[in-house]
Structure 1
Amino acid sequence: MDPYSIDTYLNHGKDLASCTNLTDSFVLFLQKLLFQSELQNKFSKPMLWMGIYAAIASLFCILPMVADLLHGLKHKKLWFPCKYFTLNAASLTVIAVAMKLPMDVSNSMQNDVDQDGKLGSMAFMCTMMANLLPSLATMDSKELITNIIALGVLVITLVVNVYIQIETGAISYLNGIYYSSIACMYVVMLLALLMIHTCSALMILKSKQILESKYKAGHETKLKDLELQQPGRVTVEKLEQHVSNHWIMAETSSPQFMTVCSATTSASGVICVSSTVIHVINMLSTRPNMKYYGSDYKWSVSVIFIIQFSGVILGTIAPILRCLASLSFKVSIKWIWNHIRVFKAESCYTQKLSDWKHSSIPFRFSNRRCKIVIQDLKVLILSFLIGFQKMVVVTCKMIALIPIFFVICILCCFHCWKWLKVMFGASLNVSVEEPAQLQHTKDLSRYVLQLQDDMEFAGRTLKSISKSVNRVIQKAKKQQPNNLMKLLEECSGFEGVGKYDVHQVPSLPEEKYVDCWSLPVVTLTTIAISLPNVQKDMVDGLLRSVSEGLTYVTLVEETLNATDEFVIIQNAARRLWLEVEVYHKWLGNKLQNPSHQVNPAREIVQWFSDTAKNMVTEVENKNIEGSNDDSLYISVSAKSMYRITQTILVSYHDNIDQISQEDLFVQISSMISHMLAACLTNLPQVIAMKCHTNVIEKREASVHTAAQLLGETMHIINNLQDRQLPNLKPDELPFIDKWRDLFLHPSP
């Protein structure tokens, strides 16, 4: 019998009525209560799993916050940029799930664990918002506005739901604790953090424009200095200076660094700490017993509470350190005094609203009175918002006085310690900063980019940024491609670039041949490792060298040869190299075929040539099965193999029968070495270009790549400096066909 069917309860009611003197109405009332109780038990069963779901979502919010904290400590970025925990559609969805307890307005949660769970979720929300603030700077204008609106909807919905629970008594007085009062404090904090996020978003929109114009001016100046160097002869020292200067510009103009250094971030840090303190005090006061719960969420409430409490404690660390570090980055005691005497909102906070205020609205109607009303209404609303924005900024600066007090104490201790070192430097053998170091710091300060020109930037912060780029370069030096350097040092010059392809080779039918650096290198390597009589250690060494070299060849091609026709060839080369290096196959044909063991080198080369020609003919004439990409890949790879093998056969003529496999391997290795060397002469240009990108949000990562690349290739660049470059124009150096043509037809 179904325990939840109405017939079941009617039958129970008839039995009850026949056995007692109760009235029919009272019996029906009991039936209804029993039925509703059973239904309530049935519908509340999924709530346990909803609680577990919210606990898992909370954990997914904590992990990226901790990851950002560890990332900042590892890379000594004390402003703790948001790399993993960022504001986007995915994170907002997870946060909404984690806020299940305070969002629930229908479930009775009167136990102390339930009440503390609701308040703990609100404290957790404050912590997450404080951690998310710097991530606003990583978005473009459209993403920023969209995500701020989405965050606003989430916070306002949460606040409204909490207010409803306060009014209905779902959050109330219990065991001497006024939970409703604590909830009201959290509501105020959440609304304050939402206003801070909105204020910061408006500041970010305008600040990026200011910093971008300053960055462009500094970049153009440094680029002109670098262009004065002879093409292909830019020294490592000049490159290192170029990277260092761009590193400072990128770091100090970083949108996240700029946001962390603002008063709004300091205020959000104070609010985050306040919410954490309230939550800890409340927990110590109530000391909830995790074994007792009174809601449909059952024991999952305890799990949510414990996980979110851990998230509050761990998530507060980064906002505290950001708050203190942001002040120590740019201030001295004099700076603090000058900026706390008068509170005002800088123009970057209100400029965007002012621009909107003075902009025109594209009206779609001709009624003049309507235009006047709408325009006046827009001016009135934006004037109010500008005033409100100024009030928020001033309030944030007043709140920021709290961490400023601690920074003053830290700076006083620092200056006292510095004074003691100077006083007792002779006896303690403490070295004082030399004039040369001071001059170097002063030179670097020219590349510091700030919103206000009169802002003082702490010298210790500049030294820290300068040391960070040196650390990246020094660490990259330990990762230099030793196998590649060994291959380059075995052969000097670039003559091999003119030997891999000659014009006497007959073209295949309908051939439109364009070449890049990577494809002939991969093709020549394929031929070399297919020679079975060559020692295995020599083959393995060539494979490792080419594998390391192709990493940098790819960077050169992606940076300097990025047109569509070259990209097709480069994609084919990457796919072919995967097949050659991993599977030791060429277009499905196994390399080092046992049948080649006794064959002379000529027959192996001829086999590659014939096979390639047949494949091209099959693709062109029969349109073999498979996708167009596969056909293009086979055609491009086969054409490259045909031309190179034909070049080998034509170049050696009758002497190829006398060449052993070992000699052919050495000749091919020499050509590969020369081609890699010729390609890598473009590395200084690539490094210089990697220092700069037009996307301000990606500028830090780009200059970091440049520093990493410089450290790894310093020895290669120095080695290639000693070779005589061909008489090519700077814009011709990145193209292999220009090198080949010059060697085939040298200019007088």
Structure 2
Amino acid sequence: MGHHYDLEDDYEEALSPLRQCNNISSNLIDDLLLVLYKLHRQKRFSEPMPTIGMYIALASLCCLLAMVADIIHGMKYRKSWYPCKYFTLNAVSLTVIAVAVKLPMDLTNPMPGDIDQQTKLGSVAFMCIMMTFLLPSLATMNRKDLVTNIIALGLLVITLVVNICIQINTGLVSYSEDMRIKEDNMGGHKIKSMAIYSYANRITAITYVAMLLMLMMIYICSALMILKSKQDLESKYQAAHERALLVQQQAGQLTVENLKQRVINYGIMAGTGSPQLMTVCSATSSASAVICVSIYWLHYTKTVNYLGNESKHIAYDSDYKWSILVIYYIQYIGITLGAAVMLSRFLTPLTNMSSTEGIWKLIKFYEVESCWTHTLSDWKHNRLYSSSSPNFKIVFYKLQILGLTLLTLSQKAIVITCKAIRIIPVLISMFFLCYYACLFLLLELFGIQMPRQSEPTRNIHQYVLQLQDDMELPDEALYFIIKSVERSIQNAEKQQPSKLMKLLVNFRDFEGVKKFDSLLVQPSPGLDYPNCWSLPVVTLATIAVSLHKIQPNTLKNFLNEVTEGLVYVKLVEESLNNKDELVSVQKAAERLWLEVEVYNKWLGNYLQDPDFRVKTAIQIVEWFNEKATNMVTEVGSIGICACSMRRITETILLSYHTNIDELSQEELFTELSSMIADILAACLTNLPQVIVTKCHESAIEKREESVYAAATLLGKTSEIINTLKDRVPESLINNPGELPFIDKWRDHLTAPAP
């Protein structure tokens, strides 16, 4: 309050000369004092606005960087249609987008400067560009997420549209009246040009509103199509998968070469059956791309007109001050990049047409395929509302039929409109094709041979998935898919697990699988946990790490080797050992190894205890056995790890009971390393099956990612697979279903020879 009175005194002092004038009423001076005070308060309230502007710029930058990440990802995998991987429609992205488009949401802040107006309208254009960019990400969602995100986006778009309409009515999307008064003394020509510019801003805002509403209808229309089309793609994928299984059965053993061909086959199935590619090739996506490019052209034209205007008005004069420039340039870059991506996307549909019939079908835009209306048709024949009253049931069902019929007609109208718009990119694409064909013929006439890409063999085409039989993917597109998968394998081949390979040097024909847990050791009363691959490895490595006479560098290298081996063991267990009784054992092993590797402890006991300095190798084993025996009754992971340690230590004591005093720590370390290498080698014989499993991902949205993960795994482990391919015992080869389980291995290896 003190500040208020000081301010009032300052204004009173400034206006005191006016009070001395007899011809000025005191009421007018009081009103002027009140106006000055309100203006001062308004100025204070607007002080944080540049900071808010930078917050808007930061949100816009996040959207821009996500778009750039998707562009880089598309270039890396030779996907000119740029799938949405990092910038997708979800709760986080919608929140960031809502912040990025705050300027058009502001109903009260005047934006009198040229750049202010450009930035406000540019934010709406940026919103349209982002909506178009995000459209393929709808195909990555399940039904529930699709409905939720469409509703959330719809609320944001409707709010934005309503706010823009209000500002069109109030004049906030044009120069304000105070600007007109300020420029009044500069001549009528200036006022006229400002009026024209103001009118152009209103027309631009109305155009953007229409584009936003059209894009929202395209989103809803695409979502209804995606639900049905993904089912069709899934059925085609399952048929191709059956063919792939039949070919694999005929091929026999899973060698590295066989696995490479299998990964390529599934790469083609995942690439051509990508739900995002399906969405990009749809009529709605092509229409949204045309809308996007049109928006860019409109925004670019206004920007050029502004920059070329010699008699510029105030660049920025809003409360956001200098931050408006940062917002403008970031969003302008985003609009430009988005338009470039859309230009590439709307040329993509022609790459899916290698026949005259395919082009003719696009030109026949009045035909609407069943996938666009199938979901609405299903809803029409299902009762969406139940009531206890028979009369109400009839009324609601008739209303349901009427409403869904109108929606179906609207859906068809939107699809036909989009297909009509789609003719534009088709004509442009055909022009470029004719241009390149003429160029090719001209070069041929002069004897210049163009490099030709090798065509995929015809048996590859049986793995191509396509929604429409008359739109076949050309060989060039298949070539890029194959090369992308092959490149992933080749790049991974340069990243062989060298540390694990050093450990596998100690491999001795799986003897350690038979020796690590003797059948002579009796289970603890009432406790009998199944073995997984990782727990024996971790338990044996724990004993090895506690041997204090081993050189520290040797132990450090040993830890790194085991850690790298456990990475691949985990892949085998997650893919092939995912039974409930084994999952708890695997989690216990993972927690125990974290404790050993990071904290150098085993179930809370320090492995570098000073007491170990005076213990022999067997005394250390006995110490572990005693501790484990006391903890086997514990519940959870402690009991699981204790049971494993008790059995393994008793096995070691039984194995060396005759020369127990002569066993050195170096000899015990060598023996433990060999057993670990044997267990890891036996586990890693399952890598071919893991790769096959990764190729066939059940979720359609994750198939491409899973295939590339399989390609990377194949490249990294090709040397290991080649080393172990002929070492599996014959009894296990005849029982491939038992290969993923260590207890089955031990049973086969300890069974008497027939």
For normalisation by structure 2, the TM-score amounts to: 0.89
**Offset of 1:446 from its aligned partner?**
0.9
2: CA distance between counterparts of 1:380 and 1:285?
Answer: 49
Deviations 1:623-680 (A, max 9, x none): xxxxxxxx63333222222211110111121223223322222222221122112112
2:234 is paired with a residue whose SS is helix
In the alignment, does 2:507 pair up with 1:464? no
Which letter maps to 2:372?
Y
Structure 2 residue 618 is matched with structure 1 residue 602: yes
| Partner residue, 2:130 | 128
Give the Å deviation of 1:608: 2.1
Kindly state the Cα deviation for residue 553 of structure 1 after the two structures are TM-superposed. 0.9
Pick the aligned partner of 1:642 from 629, 646, 655: 646
**Equivalent residues of 2:466, 2:472 under 8 A apart:** no
Corresponding letter in the other structure for 1:742:
H
The residue number in structure 2 matching 1:558 is: 574
> Which whole-Å CA distance do the structure 1 matches of 2:663 and 2:146 have between them?
66
2:499 paired with 1:483: yes
Structure 1 pair 416–478 and aligned structure 2 pair: CA distance change class (3 A):
farther
Question: Is the CA contact 1:502–1:744 (under 8 Å) kept in the aligned structure 2?
Answer: no
**What's 1:625 paired with?**
none
Q: 2:691 matched to 1:668? A: no
Which whole-Å CA distance do the structure 2 matches of 1:292 and 1:428 have between them?
A: 55
- Find 2:342's aligned residue among 313, 319, 331: 319
Aligned partner of 2:372 in structure 1 is 349
Aligned 1:371-390 pairs, distance under 5 A: 371-390=393-412
Structure 1 residue 470: Cα displacement:
1.0
Structure 1 residue 135: deviation in Å? 0.9
Quote the residue 2:269 is aligned against. Answer: 249
- Corresponding residue of 1:340: 363
> Following superposition of structure 1 onto structure 2, how do residues 514-525 of structure 1 map, counting pairs within 5 Å?
514-525=530-541
Work out which of the residue numbers 739, 742, 745 in structure 2 matches 1:736: 742
- Report the counterpart of residue 714 of structure 1 in structure 2: 718
Distance 1:431 1:17, change over 3 A: closer
Q: Does the 8 Å CA contact 2:157/2:216 hold for their aligned counterparts?
A: yes
Moved more, 121-130 or 308-317: 308-317
- Give the 3 Å change call, closer, same or farther, for CA 723–453 of structure 1 in structure 2: same
Select 1:392's aligned residue among 407, 410, 414.
Answer: 414
**What CA distance in whole angstroms lies between the structure 2 residues aligned with 1:333 and 1:667?**
70
What does 1:127-526 correspond to in 2, within 5 Å? 127-172=129-174, 175=194, 176-177=196-197, 178-227=200-249, 233-287=253-307, 292-331=315-354, 335-368=358-391, 370-416=392-438, 438=455, 440-508=456-524, 510-526=526-542
Query: Runs of 5+ in structure 2 lacking a partner?
Result: 176-192
Partner AA of 1:740 in structure 2 = R
Residue 152 (structure 1) shift: 1.6
SS in 2 for 1:381: helix
Q: How does 1:3-18 map to 2 (within 5 A)?
A: 3-4=3-4, 8=8, 12=12
> For residues 112 and 18 of structure 1, what CA distance do their matches in structure 2 show?
40
Q: Please state how far the C-alpha of 1:208 moved relative to its aligned partner.
A: 0.6
Measure how far apart 1:291 and its partner are: 7.0
Please state how far the C-alpha of 1:429 moved relative to its aligned partner. Answer: 7.2
Q: Per the alignment, do residues 338 and 346 of structure 1 end up closer, same or farther by CA in structure 2, a change over 3 Å counting?
A: closer
Q: Displacement of 1:324 after TM fit?
A: 1.9
1:2 alignment counterpart: 2
Contact (CA 8 Å) 2:694, 2:707: kept in 1 or not?
yes
CA contact (8 A) 1:79 1:326 kept: no
Cα deviation digits, residues 38-76 of structure 1 (max 9, x gap): 343343333333322222221121111111111111222
The one-letter amino acid of 2:720's match is I
Given that 1:252 and 1:448 are in contact with CA atoms closer than 8 Å, whether structure 2 keeps it comes out as yes
Task: Mark the CA change 1:580 to 1:11 in structure 2 (over 3 Å): closer, same or farther.
Answer: closer
Distance 2:144 2:428 in 1: 38
Deviates more, 1:704-713 or 1:287-296: 287-296
Identity level (%): 52
- The one-letter code matched in structure 1 to 2:687 is L
Deviation, structure 1 residue 489: 4.6
Partner amino acid, structure 2, of 1:101:
L
Give yes or no for contact 1:79–1:321 (8 Å, CA) kept in 2. Answer: yes
RMSD of aligned residue pairs (Cα, Å): 2.9
Secondary structure of the corresponding residue to residue 656 of structure 2: helix
Letter in 1 for 2:279: T
> Residue 238 of structure 1: CA displacement?
2.5
CA contact (8 A) 2:61 2:330 kept: yes
Q: Is the 8 A contact 1:6 1:35 kept in 2?
A: no
Task: Tell me the secondary structure at the aligned position of residue 275 of structure 1.
Answer: helix
Contact 1:254 1:697 in 2 (8 A): yes
Per-residue deviation at 1:228?
Answer: 5.9
Check whether the contact 1:4–1:35 (CA below 8 A) recurs between aligned residues: no
Shift of 1:239: 2.2
In 1, Cα distance between the equivalents of 2:255 and 2:369? Answer: 43
Preserved contact between residue 112 and residue 317 of structure 2 (Cα < 8 Å): yes
- Match of 1:674, as an amino acid? D
Q: CA deviation at 1:192?
A: 1.6
Q: Alpha carbons of 1:421 and 1:525: their partners in 2 closer, same or farther (altered >3 Å)?
A: farther
Alignment counterpart, residue 103 of structure 1, candidates 102, 105, 112: 105
- For structure 1, the residue ranges without an aligned partner over 5 or more in a row are 621-630
Aligned to 1:623: none
User: Are the equivalent residues in 2 in contact too, given 1:293–1:299 (CA < 8 A)?
Assistant: yes
Question: CA 1:236–1:11 in structure 2 vs 1: closer, same or farther (change >3 Å)?
Answer: closer
The normalised TM-score by structure 1 is 0.90
In structure 2, give the amino acid aligned to 1:389: Q
Asked if structure 2 preserves the Cα contact closer than 8 Å seen for 1:62 and 1:315, the reply is: no
- Partners of 1:328 and 1:407 within 8 A in 2: no
Aligned residues: 727
1:47–1:536 CA distance, 2 compared to 1 (3 A): closer
Q: CA deviation at 1:610?
A: 2.2
SS in 2 for 1:152: helix
More deviation in 98-107 or 219-228? Answer: 219-228
Distance 1:583 1:330 in 2: 60
SS in 2 for 1:30: helix
1:274-325 superposed Cα distances (whole Å, 9 cap, x missing partner): 1111111111212387974332222222222222122212232222222223
For 1:5 and 1:225, locate their aligned partners in 2 and report how far apart those are by CA, in whole Å.
90
Supply the distance in 2 between the matched residues of 1:154 and 1:377 (Cα, whole angstroms).
28
Give the whole-Å Cα distance in 2 for the aligned partners of 1:225 and 1:537: 49
Structure 2: which amino acid aligns with 1:103?
A: M
The 8 Å contact of residues 328 and 458 in structure 1, kept in 2 or not, is answered as: yes
The answer to whether the 8 Å contact 2:104/2:124 transfers is yes
Structure 1 counterpart of 2:69, which letter? A
Among 640, 658, 662, the residue aligned to 1:658: 662
Q: 8 Å contact 2:352–2:471 — kept in the other structure?
A: no
Q: Is the 8 A contact 2:114 2:314 kept in 1?
A: no
CA distance in 2, matches of 1:419, 1:532: 77
Query: For the residues of structure 1 that align with 2:704 and 2:26, how far apart are their CA atoms?
Result: 80
Please give the alpha-carbon distance, in whole angstroms, between the structure 2 residues aligned to 1:266 and 1:501.
Answer: 64
- Give, in whole Å, the separation in 1 of the partners of 2:679 and 2:440: 56
Q: Mean Cα displacement is larger for which, 722-731 or 521-530?
A: 722-731
**3-state SS of paired residue (2:2):** coil
The 8 Å contact of residues 513 and 742 in structure 2, kept in 1 or not, is answered as yes
Counterpart check, 1:577 vs 2:593: yes
